[in-house]
């Protein structure tokens, strides 16, 4: 009987030792594997602990006018409505409706300057019959903040971007014409800047300058980035990429180039590129020496705070969709799908 007990105890001891060895092997193997984005996100501090929600609204489209510390936004539903929220008080305030119309629906791509708003919306007055369905086409509009009566753009004017407080730049494309131009909001007058040969163009106006990149029609083709000189007039190529995903304006002196596996910051004043290692920023804003970057989301959204001098990085996770980042003075705002947050930068 004692022999049986000894054998059982020995077997249990051997089994335990095997399990311990297996656990040690598994932990070492897991430690040697590179962390996935989800592994990293799971241990990040939550952005909600450092960001205070100052406005609670389901946001459809938005923009921030830094010159007047104002947040403009639209919400889904009927009738179409654009509201503004003064950000002079960082604690938040009451939104004011500045435009409402039952003739258009679903405002999108909202842009703002000191005096004018630019947006797209469904035109309920121009239904189109396609088969058995009635479709309301999307049209582009601009309106004065002081007297909000919207005016339509010509349908051939594509890809409009606000240039300064009174003008927008655009790409005009029809069967006979292909050029970049600009429109004066106050008068409605348009002016050609340069002719172009590209059918698909993304405009990047920054600090009264105009950059653009051509969108290749074939996969694997190079994407060329140009700077426009209105005095010549001409466009000069500053670089080309075979892995460019998108580009955006960061501030008055920087463009963000989102590439397949990384991002680059282009400084306009000294024509210098800086790679942002290990980040594919989809959204970015620069504050002093820090770049605030929202990476391509996996299951959760991640805000990275990157020091551009040494690339030291702080990261925060967020369980809401981040739409944009706005910086006014020392205040950093997070525009999320469910409202507006003030980020504690200290």
For residue 280, give every residue at least 6 positions away whose Cβ sits within 8 Å of its Cβ, in sequence order, or none. 245, 258, 259, 260, 261, 262, 263, 295, 296
At residue 35, the pLDDT reads: 35
Residue 180, pLDDT > 90, answer yes
Q: Print the domain residue range for 192.
A: 174-242
For residue 167, give every residue at least 6 positions away whose Cβ sits within 8 Å of its Cβ, in sequence order, or none. 182, 183, 184, 185
Lowest mean pLDDT among 10-24, 58-72, 110-124: 10-24
Confirm whether 226 is domain-assigned.
yes
Confirm whether 3 is domain-assigned.
no
Q: What strand order describes the sheet that includes 157-162?
A: 157-162, 167-173, 178-184, 190-195
DSSP state of 70: E
Structurally, the chain folds into a number of domains equal to: 1
Confirm whether 131 is domain-assigned.
no
Residue 39, pLDDT > 80, answer no
At residue 55, the pLDDT reads: 81
Confirm whether 294 is domain-assigned.
no
Residue 1, pLDDT > 80, answer no
pLDDT band at 171 (very low <50, low <70, confident <90, very high): very high
Instruction: Tell me the average pLDDT across 18-47.
Output: 46
Chain-wide mean pLDDT for the chain? 79
Confirm whether 46 is domain-assigned.
no
More confident residue, 104 or 92: 104
Residue 62, classified by CB atoms within 10 Å of its CB into exposed (0-12), middle (13-18) or buried (19+), is buried
Confirm whether 198 is domain-assigned.
yes
Confirm whether 31 is domain-assigned.
no
At residue 193, the pLDDT reads: 93
Lookup: tokens for 214: 């051509």
Instruction: Tell me the average pLDDT across 24-48.
Output: 45
At residue 330, the pLDDT reads: 82
Confirm whether 228 is domain-assigned.
yes
Its pTM stands at 0.76
For the stretch 134-156, pLDDT in tens is: 888 888 888 888 777 788 888 88
């Amino acid at each position: 009987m004692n022999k049986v007990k000894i054998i059982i105890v020995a077997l249990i001891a051997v089994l335990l030792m095997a399990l311990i060895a297996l656990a040690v092997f598994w932990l070492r193997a897991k430690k040697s594997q590179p962390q996935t984005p989800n592994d990293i996100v799971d241990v990040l501090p939550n952005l909600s602990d450092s960001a205070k929600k100052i406005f609670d609204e389901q946001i459809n489209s938005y923009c921030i006018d830094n010159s007047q510390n104002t947040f403009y936004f639209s919400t889904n539903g009927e009738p179409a409505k654009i509201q503004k929220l003064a950000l002079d008080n960082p604690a938040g305030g009451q939104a004011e409706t500045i435009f409402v119309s039952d003739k258009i629906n679903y405002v999108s791509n909202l842009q703002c300057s000191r005096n004018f708003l630019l947006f797209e919306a469904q035109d309920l007055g121009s239904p189109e019959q396609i088969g058995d369905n009635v479709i309301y086409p999307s049209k582009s509009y601009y309106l004065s903040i002081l007297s909000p009566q919207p005016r339509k753009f010509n349908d051939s004017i594509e890809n409009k971007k606000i240039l300064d407080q009174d003008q927008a730049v655009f790409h005009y494309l029809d069967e006979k014409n292909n050029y970049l131009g600009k429109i004066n909001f106050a008068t409605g007058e348009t002016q050609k800047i340069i002719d172009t040969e590209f059918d698909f163009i993304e405009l990047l106006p920054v600090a009264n300058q105009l950059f653009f990149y051509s969108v290749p029609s074939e996969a694997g083709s190079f994407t060329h980035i140009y700077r426009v000189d209105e005095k010549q007039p001409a466009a000069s190529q500053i670089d080309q990429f075979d892995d460019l995903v998108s580009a955006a304006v960061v501030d008055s002196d920087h463009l963000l180039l989102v590439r397949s596996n990384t991002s680059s910051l282009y400084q306009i004043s000294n024509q210098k590129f800086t790679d942002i290692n290990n980040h594919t920023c989809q959204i970015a804003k620069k504050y002093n020496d820090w770049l605030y970057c929202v990476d391509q989301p996996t299951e959760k959204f991640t805000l990275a705070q990157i020091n551009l001098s040494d690339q030291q990085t702080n990261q925060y996770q967020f369980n809401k969709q981040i739409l944009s980042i706005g910086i006014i003075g020392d205040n950093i705002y997070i525009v999320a799908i469910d409202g507006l947050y003030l980020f504690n930068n200290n």
